């Protein structure tokens, strides 16, 4: 599935990778510290993305598989909320509580928490469990100074002792599995993910996701599969490989090279929420314009229903820009959509522009 752009601007899968990754796709069991297990249907997951993996988008990624009607694979196997502040939950901040909204159709859902104080994080995790989380993920990857200056996010990678304390406190406060998502390292090019992963495992983590970049790289430059491989070789719990997976060939390479137990996809799902379904179902056929229109319409409906029409349509703008990227009339479509006030108007413009060339 090498997404190549067709003349109508839609990406089509052309390589043979999808058929080959089938042997790496399987359910994954995540064990909680208290001994209960969460079995997720498959090991291809939607990454946490701040400002993007909100409830409407998570529902949509799940629903794409159902709409395509392909063989029961409920892609992706696990979806993640964006990072939620433990302190925000502690002080009962509205924003934090809103980010923890979930629906049965997206389950299982993992809610991601960030912070640096074990007690506050444990309390926050318990609130997220109460709100419906099926798993808790601890953020040890965020590179943004506003977060790292409080010793949160990727800054935790400097301190394995604190990592073990945090994971242990959070695991002890909930009955669901606790996972950790980390980068390669915090300072310069000093790789600390192996020590960090061992500390997380000792604290009771059920799985570790590794994004093979240093904090200073943010989201550019080389993403190291070797870092994922080294963590995989060091720990006994499942390891999820993350970073720059946008085709089945890249998914295959991550599985084959690192021996990882699952993969996580973030940016490649923007404007392509069907990527999980395509990977899991060896679906070489790109969605046709009618299907893309149906997916966009559903996304607009979810956004309107769960966020209210005004905020929902504001949030939809970036998604619509991603959906229409590369299409012949993308700029015009974007301009018109950005001016649309209602969900109905937005749907009508999307229909007109996307189906115009059919």
Phi and psi (nearest 5°) for 234?
A: -90, -30
User: Of 37, 61, 64, 142, which residue is the catalytic one?
Assistant: 142
- Of 86-125, binders to ligand FMN (CB under 6 A) are 112
By C-beta, is 243 or 289 nearer to ligand FMN? 243
Burial of 277 (0-12, 13-18, 19+ CB in 10 A): buried
By C-beta, is 52 or 340 nearer to ligand FMN? 52
**Structure-token match 């409830």, residue found:** 55
By C-beta, is 63 or 217 nearer to ligand FMN? 217
Write the secondary structure of the chain as one string of H (helix), E (strand) and C (coil): CCEEECCCCCEEECCCHHHHHHHHCCCEEEECCCCCEEEECCCEEECCCCCCCCHHHHHHHHHHHHHHCCCCCCCCCCEEEEEEEHHHHHCCCHHHHHHCCCCHHHCCEEEEEECCCHHHHHHHHHHHHHHCCCEEEEEECCCCHHHHCCCCHHHHHHCHHHHHHHHHHHHHHCCCCEEEEEEEECCCCCCCHHHHHHHHHHHCCCEEEEEEEEHHHCCCCCCCHHHHHHHHHHCCCCEEEECCCCCHHHHHHHHHHHCCCEEEECHHHCCCCCHHHHHHCCCCCCCCHHHHHHHHHHHHHHHHHHHCHHHHHHHHHHHHHHHHCCCCCHHHHHHHHHHCCCHHHHHHHHHHHHHCCC
By C-beta, is 272 or 336 nearer to ligand FMN? 272
For the bound state, the minimum distance from the C-beta of residue 47 to ligand FMN, rounded and expressed in Å, comes to 3
Binding window for ligand FMN (CB under 6 A); candidates: 67-75, 88-96, 136-144, 226-234: 136-144
# residues near ligand FMN by CB under 6 A: 22
If one asks whether residue 242 binds ligand FMN (CB under 6 A), the answer comes out as yes
Applying CB under 6 A, which of residues 244, 261, 283, 315 lies at the interface with ligand FMN?
244
How far apart CA 162 and CA 203 sit, in angstroms, is 10
If one asks whether residue 47 binds ligand FMN (CB under 6 A), the answer comes out as yes
If one asks whether residue 250 binds ligand FMN (CB under 6 A), the answer comes out as no
If one asks whether residue 181 binds ligand FMN (CB under 6 A), the answer comes out as yes
142 in active site? yes
By C-beta, is 299 or 336 nearer to ligand FMN? 299
By C-beta, is 211 or 319 nearer to ligand FMN? 211
By C-beta, is 84 or 349 nearer to ligand FMN? 84
Q: How many Cβ atoms are within 10 Å of 317's Cβ, its own excluded?
A: 14
Each residue 296-335 as x (binds ligand FMN by CB under 6 A) or -, in order, gives ----------------------------------------
If one asks whether residue 139 binds ligand FMN (CB under 6 A), the answer comes out as yes
Binding window for ligand FMN (CB under 6 A); candidates: 37-45, 90-98, 240-248, 306-314: 240-248
- Of 142-161, binders to ligand FMN (CB under 6 A) are 142
If one asks whether residue 219 binds ligand FMN (CB under 6 A), the answer comes out as yes
Binding window for ligand FMN (CB under 6 A); candidates: 27-35, 43-51, 91-99, 309-317: 43-51
Binding window for ligand FMN (CB under 6 A); candidates: 27-35, 166-174, 238-246, 296-304: 238-246
Which residues are known catalytic residues?
A: 142
Residues that bind ligand FMN (CB under 6 A): 47-50, 52, 82-83, 112, 139, 141-142, 181, 211, 219, 242-245, 265-268
């Amino acid at each position: 599935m090498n997404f190549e752009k067709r003349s109508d601007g839609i990406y089509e899968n052309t390589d043979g990778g999808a058929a080959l990754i089938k042997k790496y796709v399987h359910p994954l069991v995540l064990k909680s510290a208290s001994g209960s297990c969460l079995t997720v249907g498959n090991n291809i997951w939607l990454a946490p993305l701040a400002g993007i993996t909100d409830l409407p988008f998570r529902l949509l990624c799940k629903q794409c598989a159902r709409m395509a009607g392909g063989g029961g694979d409920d892609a992706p196997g696990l979806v993640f909320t964006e990072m939620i502040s433990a302190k925000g939950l502690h002080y009962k901040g509205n924003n934090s509580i809103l980010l923890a909204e979930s629906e049965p159709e997206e389950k299982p859902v993992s809610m991601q928490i960030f912070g640096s104080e074990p007690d506050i994080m444990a309390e926050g995790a318990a609130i997220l469990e109460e709100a419906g989380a099926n798993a808790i993920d601890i953020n040890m990857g965020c590179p943004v100074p506003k977060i790292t200056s409080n010793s949160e996010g990727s800054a935790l990678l400097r301190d394995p002792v604190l990592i073990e304390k945090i994971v242990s406190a959070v695991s002890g406060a909930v009955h669901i599995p606790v996972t950790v998502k980390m980068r390669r390292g915090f300072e310069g090019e000093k790789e600390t993910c192996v020590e960090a992963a061992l500390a997380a495992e000792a604290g009771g983590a059920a799985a570790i996701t590794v994004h093979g970049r240093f904090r200073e790289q943010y989201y550019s430059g080389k993403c190291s599969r070797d870092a994922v491989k080294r963590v995989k070789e060091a720990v006994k719990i499942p390891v999820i490989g993350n970073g720059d997976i946008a085709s089945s060939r890249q998914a295959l390479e991550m599985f084959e090279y690192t021996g990882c137990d699952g993969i996580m996809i973030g940016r490649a799902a923007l404007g392509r929420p069907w990527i999980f379904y395509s990977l899991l179902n060896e679906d070489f056929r790109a969605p046709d314009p009618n299907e893309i229109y149906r997916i966009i319409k559903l996304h607009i409906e979810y956004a309107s229903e769960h966020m209210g029409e005004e905020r929902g349509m504001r949030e939809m703008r970036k998604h619509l820009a991603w959906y229409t990227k590369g299409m012949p009339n993308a700029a015009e479509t974007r301009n018109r959509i950005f001016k649309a006030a209602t969900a109905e108007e937005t749907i009508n413009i999307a229909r007109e522009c996307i189906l115009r060339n059919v």
